[in-house]
A and B are shown apart, each in its own frame.
Chain A
Amino acid sequence: MTTTALPRSSITDDIAKTATLSPWQLAWRRFRKHKMALISLGGLIVIFLYVFFGGALFARGLCDPTGVFVTGEAYANCNDTSIKLQPPSQAHFFGTDTIGRDILARTIYGGQISLSIGILAAIVEVLVGVLVGAIAGYYGGWLDDVLMRVTEAMLIIPSLFLLIVLAKVLNGKIPEMEILGRTLSGSVIVIIFVIGFTSWMYLARIVRANVLSLKELDFISASRALGVSDSRIIFRHLLPNTIAPIIVSATLGVSSSISSEAYVSFLGLGVQTPTASWGNMLDGSVKYIQSAPWLWFFPGLLILLTVLCINFVGDGLRDALDPRSTKHL
């Protein structure tokens, strides 16, 4: 038996290669192994391109009652009741809605709103969740008691109920405003905060649990002995060590915020027209289930694809950032 041409062990190869990699590079290598996450990342890029640059391609045409040629969001909001409820055709690829607006253009501009709500609401969620969790875990005592009792109290009521109540309270309280050259219904801002404020509880509990165990470690005692300030310990030492669950929650927060927006808008309490969102395009479509399925099919499909892609990416991130974590899905 000869032992000459044994291939080099791939394990030692890996060790040799990974020795110089940063934790982020390591995470990226693990992420790349998750095929569906990679494909979904590509899918997300396509959806973003469609939503943020598709307007230039598809949103232009005559706004008929006035006979003016319009482009951009004006086209998406242009209603012409003489062409209402038309099935998909050459002129309107996705058909027209109940008051004759082009659904393709509305999925583009509605998508901008839905994606922005998803991302911004997830940011609000992470800010509140991390802050509450870190403060409760780090300071302990009565502050911990108060914050955790509020968290638990909010967890008793399913968040969709809270979401509806808060949305109803703030509905119409914020006027229309102009942001980045677009006139937005105030309801967009309302929905961002409402979703953020009703979804932070799980993240707060995760962060608190992590901070509780981390703060007993020697390096934190050392920092404290050196006289490092509390805020510096929290933001520079504790939170970076619990970044993995925060990133995963933030990613999944985007997809759940997009569905939450769709739920409340579907019930008529979310983003108010004429501003389109994927959710409010579905509002009332149940009446047209038979006569005009294109009303709900295209926005519904976009919501599904976006949420699916984000969930896969989140799954990939969980594997990549925390290899020890048990997979629930």
Chain B
Amino acid sequence: MVNYILRRLAQSIPQLILISLMLFILMQAFGDPIASLGVRTPPKPADRVRLRRQLGLDQPVYVQYFVWLAGNDWMMIDMDGDGVGETPGKRRGVLRGDLGNSLTNKRPVIELITERLPNTLLLMGVVEVVIIIISLSLGAYSAVRQYSLFDTVVTGLSFVGFSMPIFLIALLSMYLFSVSFKEWGLPYLPTVGMFDPQVGKTPGQIALHMVLPVLSLSIISIAGYSRYVRSSMLEVLGLDYIRTARAKGLREIFVIRRHALKNAILPFVTLIGLDIPFLLAGAIVTESIFAWPGTGRLFVEHIALSDYPVLMGILMMTGIAVIIFQLLTDIAYSYLDPRIRIG
């Protein structure tokens, strides 16, 4: 098992390096990050040249990538423009955990990300729990009551939900639960931010502000997964051991929960693990709409600024998260299904 994990991690390193190289080269074509500093762009051309040199933007792409990857603290860099390196470099490079500094506000990228990451993780965690609970119960119940009214309605709704773009769910739910509820004099939900500044960052406030983002992020996945659970549950319910269990006189609730559901959710584990990237992508849109201060919104803000160290940082964190979740999925799967052995 340990061998398997190590081998998988080793395999993912070249993948990460390859994708980071591709993204890094692409980002050089973003245009001049100095020009997109706005009011803080130095007006004098000479200053702009100096700033470019200080940020290392005057170097060829491969040098910049190498510095990004491996740092430059072992060499002297040229800060005054005479062609001779005199200032020791300070960057340690991504390989040693230094994601560089933001081009726009000079703060370390790692700091910018760790500031926002807990908010995204909180949102994702709640979304994941909501998705699992609701899609399992919806899927299992529609399978048990196949072709009933409930099943038909859930089937229809899940097709609609699956085709809904996230922003449409977000806009509709905002309109209904916030705007309309307010008009009708009902208690309404807040739409933007993480907490009401007048009340402060209390757990209650955060929970209240999370309702709509969680709703928008989870509906699509619930729609997809509940279908999946339904079909695998139907498959399991047709098997012999279920009939045996019923013949033994076990109560139906036992047959469903202990015997059928346990086997039916096996493929579901894989599905959840592999769909994490889609959730992360969905977070870009959701966080932008609801002004949720997470990494997705950080990405959108810094795209406009062409601030590539921040963007690379977020993308690499995302990539690593995806790889880790793939690995965890495989491990969880082999643990849940003893027939599958990995290694």
**Residues of A bordering B, CB below 8 Å:** 36, 149-150, 152-154, 156-161, 164-166, 168-169, 255, 259, 262-263, 266-267, 269, 282, 285-286, 289-290, 293, 296, 300, 303-304, 307-308, 311-312, 326-329
Q: Measured between alpha carbons, how far is A248 from B171 in the docked complex, in Å?
A: 30
* B163 touching A266, Cβ below 8 Å: no
* A262 touching B165, Cβ below 8 Å: yes
* A307 touching B171, Cβ below 8 Å: no
* A156 touching B159, Cβ below 8 Å: no
Point out the residues of chain B lying under 8 angstroms from A158, CB to CB.
Answer: 277-278, 280-281, 318, 322
* A266 touching B285, Cβ below 8 Å: yes
Closest chain B CB from A107 CB (angstroms) = 14
Point out the residues of chain A lying under 8 angstroms from B23, CB to CB.
Answer: 157, 165
* B303 touching A311, Cβ below 8 Å: no
Asked if B227 CB lies within 8 Å of chain A CBs, one says yes
* A157 touching B19, Cβ below 8 Å: yes
Contact bitstring B266-290, A, C-beta under 8 A = 1, else 0: 0000000000011011101100110
Closest to A326 in B: B231
The interface-forming segment of B24-32, B65-73, B124-132, B193-201 is B24-32
Closest to A296 in B: B171
Q: Which of B14, B163, B318, B319 has the most CB of A within 10 A?
A: B163
* B311 touching A289, Cβ below 8 Å: no
Q: Measured between alpha carbons, how far is A151 from B225 in the docked complex, in Å?
A: 26
Point out the residues of chain A lying under 8 angstroms from B299, CB to CB.
Answer: 161, 164
B303 interface neighbour in A168, A259, A266, Cβ under 8 Å: A168
* B174 touching A263, Cβ below 8 Å: no
* A161 touching B318, Cβ below 8 Å: yes
* B16 touching A161, Cβ below 8 Å: no
* B224 touching A267, Cβ below 8 Å: no
* B168 touching A304, Cβ below 8 Å: yes
Asked if B336 CB lies within 8 Å of chain A CBs, one says no
Closest chain A CB from B218 CB (angstroms) = 17
Point out the residues of chain B lying under 8 angstroms from A159, CB to CB.
Answer: 281
B323 interface neighbour in A150, A156, A290, A296, Cβ under 8 Å: A156
Closest chain B CB from A314 CB (angstroms) = 11
Given known pairs A153-B18, A166-B26, A267-B284, the reply for A286 and B289 (CB within 8 Å) is: yes
Enumerate the 5 nearest inter-chain pairs by beta-carbon distance, A residue then B residue, closest first.
Answer: A160-B281, A158-B281, A158-B277, A308-B163, A153-B19
Q: Measured between alpha carbons, how far is A201 from B231 in the docked complex, in Å?
A: 26
Q: Measured between alpha carbons, how far is A136 from B15 in the docked complex, in Å?
A: 17
Asked if B328 CB lies within 8 Å of chain A CBs, one says no
Closest to B17 in A: A153
* B318 touching A328, Cβ below 8 Å: no
Contact bitstring B6-46, A, C-beta under 8 A = 1, else 0: 00000010111011001100110110000000000000000
A-B contact count (CB 8 A): 126
Contact bitstring B162-205, A, C-beta under 8 A = 1, else 0: 11111110011011001100000000000100000000000000
Point out the residues of chain B lying under 8 angstroms from A164, CB to CB.
Answer: 284, 299-300, 303
Q: Measured between alpha carbons, how far is A296 from B27 in the docked complex, in Å?
A: 32
Given known pairs A149-B14, A308-B163, A311-B162, the reply for A165 and B171 (CB within 8 Å) is: no
Closest chain A CB from B18 CB (angstroms) = 4
A-B contact pairs, 27 of them (CB 8 A): A149-B14, A153-B18, A156-B16, A156-B323, A157-B277, A157-B318, A158-B318, A159-B281, A164-B300, A164-B303, A166-B26, A169-B29, A169-B30, A255-B163, A263-B285, A266-B285, A286-B174, A289-B178, A289-B179, A290-B175, A300-B167, A300-B172, A304-B164, A308-B159, A308-B163, A311-B159, A328-B231
Q: Measured between alpha carbons, how far is A26 from B201 in the docked complex, in Å?
A: 62
Closest chain A CB from B265 CB (angstroms) = 15
Point out the residues of chain B lying under 8 angstroms from A269, CB to CB.
Answer: 303
B179 interface neighbour in A152, A290, A307, A328, Cβ under 8 Å: A290
* A161 touching B315, Cβ below 8 Å: yes
Point out the residues of chain B lying under 8 angstroms from A300, CB to CB.
Answer: 165, 167-168, 171-172
* A329 touching B14, Cβ below 8 Å: no
Closest to A266 in B: B167
Point out the residues of chain A lying under 8 angstroms from B162, CB to CB.
Answer: 311, 329
- A-B contacts besides A165-B23, A263-B165, 15 pairs, CB < 8 Å: A153-B22, A156-B12, A157-B277, A161-B318, A165-B27, A165-B303, A168-B303, A169-B27, A262-B165, A263-B285, A286-B171, A293-B179, A296-B171, A303-B168, A304-B168
